[in-house]
C-alpha cells in the first residue's frame, strides 16, 4: 500500500512540494486549498507532466479537507507572506487563524498523521499546530533549519570556492533573524570552516544567511522563495516515509535540552517513521547557547501573544 502525503496550500511552495514528491514516486499526494479550482488545476498539470517523468503515484487537487484522511504526513504551507512593515506578531496573528482552523480539520480527519509546518513565523506556527492538534510532540515539527542550513552551505561555498557538497553546516534556533549558525559544526570534509575563511568574512556570510529569504523577496519584488523551501520539505518527508533516521536541524518540541523547555525551536533531531525520534543535545559554545536560548524566548513570547488572543 502506497504512502500518502497531504499538502495544505496550493501556492508556489505547496505545489512544488507536491510535484517533487510525485516525481520521486514517494507517495500519493493530496493538494488542498480553499480557492476553488486552484488545487485541481495544479494537480492536473502535475499529473500531465508525470507522464513524461515516469510518475506512478496519484495527485489529487481538492477543496475538501476531509481528503487528508489516511495521510502519513500533512505538510502545511498555507498562509500569508510577511509584507513590508508587518511585525512578526502581526504575521503570527494573521496566519495563526488559518493554522488553528485547518489543524482542527487535520486532527479530526487524520488523527494518526504527522504535521510538518512550513508557514511563517515557522516555529510559532509549529508550536500552535501542536497545541491545537493535541498530537504527541514527536508528530509535529517544522522545516526551518534544513532550509537555513542549505542557504548557509551555498553562501559558504561561494565565499571559499569549494563545492557545497563538501560543506556541512548546522543552523539552530528560530527560522528568522535570531537563527544560530554553529561554527563548531560547520566544516569542509570535517575540517572546521575557520580554516578556510576569516572571522569577518564568515560573519558576513552568516548575516547573508539570516537575510536569505528577504534577499530573494527583494529580487523577485513579488512573492518569495519556493524552490529551496520545497526541496527542504521533501528531504524531511522522505526521511519519514523511508524511515531513514536522518539527522536534521528541525523545529521540534524541547523538554529541557539546552536549558529550554516547553517550546518548539530549531535543534538537531533524528527524523524517521516515528517523526522526531530523538532530540540531540550537542555541546555548544557559551555564546551560541545563549543565542539559542534568546531565540527560544522570542518564539515563546510571540506564541503567548497569539495564544492569548485566540
CB neighbour list of residue 113: distance below 8 Å, 6 or more residues apart:
6, 68, 71, 72, 73, 74, 106, 139
- Distance, in Å, from the CA atom of 288 to the CA atom of 63, rounded to the nearest integer, reads 44
Helix (H) or strand (E) holding 16: helix 12-23
Nearest CA-CA partner of 98 in 263, 302, 310 = 310
End-to-end CA separation in angstroms for the chain: 39
Other Cβ atoms less than 10 A from the Cβ of 67: the count is 18
Q: Would you call 127 a catalytic residue per the annotation?
A: no
CA 24 → CA 18, 21, 51, 56, 235, distances in Å? 10, 5, 13, 9, 11
Cα 144 from chain centroid (whole Å): 4
Among all chains, which residue has been given the C-alpha cell 508556489? 12
Active-site position among 127, 175, 227, 264: 175
Question: In which order are the strands placed within the sheet that holds 187-188?
Answer: 167-168, 187-188, 191-192
- Distance, in Å, from the CA atom of 141 to the CA atom of 114, rounded to the nearest integer, reads 8
- Distance, in Å, from the CA atom of 271 to the CA atom of 243, rounded to the nearest integer, reads 8
Long-range contacts, stretch 106-112, CB < 8 angstroms, 24+ apart: 106/6, 106/8, 106/65, 106/68, 106/74, 106/133, 107/132, 107/133, 107/134, 107/135, 109/65, 109/66, 109/67, 109/68, 109/69, 110/6, 110/68, 110/69, 110/70, 110/71, 110/74
Q: Which residues have a catalytic role annotated?
A: 175
Amino acid at each position: 500500500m502506497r504512502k500518502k502525503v497531504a499538502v495544505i496550500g496550493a501556492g508556489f511552495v505547496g505545489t512544488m512540494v507536491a510535484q517533487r514528491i510525485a516525481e520521486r514516486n514517494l507517495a500519493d499526494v493530496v493538494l488542498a486549498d480553499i480557492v476553488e479550482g486552484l488545487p485541481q488545476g495544479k494537480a492536473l498539470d502535475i499529473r500531465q507532466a508525470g507522464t513524461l517523468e515516469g510518475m506512478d503515484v496519484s495527485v489529487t487537487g481538492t477543496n475538501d479537507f476531509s481528503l487528508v484522511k489516511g495521510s502519513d504526513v500533512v505538510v502545511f504551507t498555507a498562509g500569508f507572506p510577511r509584507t513590508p512593515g508587518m511585525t512578526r506578531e502581526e504575521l503570527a496573528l494573521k496566519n495563526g487563524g488559518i493554522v488553528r482552523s485547518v489543524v482542527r480539520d487535520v486532527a479530526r480527519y487524520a488523527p494518526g498523521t504527522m504535521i510538518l509546518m512550513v508557514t511563517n513565523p515557522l516555529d510559532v506556527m509549529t508550536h500552535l499546530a501542536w497545541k491545537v492538534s493535541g498530537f504527541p510532540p514527536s508528530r509535529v515539527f517544522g522545516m526551518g533549519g534544513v532550509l537555513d542550513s542549505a542557504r548557509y552551505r551555498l553562501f559558504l561555498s561561494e565565499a571559499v570556492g569549494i563545492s557545497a557538497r563538501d560543506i556541512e553546516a548546522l543552523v539552530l534556533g528560530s527560522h528568522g533573524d535570531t537563527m544560530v549558525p554553529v561554527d563548531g559544526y560547520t566544516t569542509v570534509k570535517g575540517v572546521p570552516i575557520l580554516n578556510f575563511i576569516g572571522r569577518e568574512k564568515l560573519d558576513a556570510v552568516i548575516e547573508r544567511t539570516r537575510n536569505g529569504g528577504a534577499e530573494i523577496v527583494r529580487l523577485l519584488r513579488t512573492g518569495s522563495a519556493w524552490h529551496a523551501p520545497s526541496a527542504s520539505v521533501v528531504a524531511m518527508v522522505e526521511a519519514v516515509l523511508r524511515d531513514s533516521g536522518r539527522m536534521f536541524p528541525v523545529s521540534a518540541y524541547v523538554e529541557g535540552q539546552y536549558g529550554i523547555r516547553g517550546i518548539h525551536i530549531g535543534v538537531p533531531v533524528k527524523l524517521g517513521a516515528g517523526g522526531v525520534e530523538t532530540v540531540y543535545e550537542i555541546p555548544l559554545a557559551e555564546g551560541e547557547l545563549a543565542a539559542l536560548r534568546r531565540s527560544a524566548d522570542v518564539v515563546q513570547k510571540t506564541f503567548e501573544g497569539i495564544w492569548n488572543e485566540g
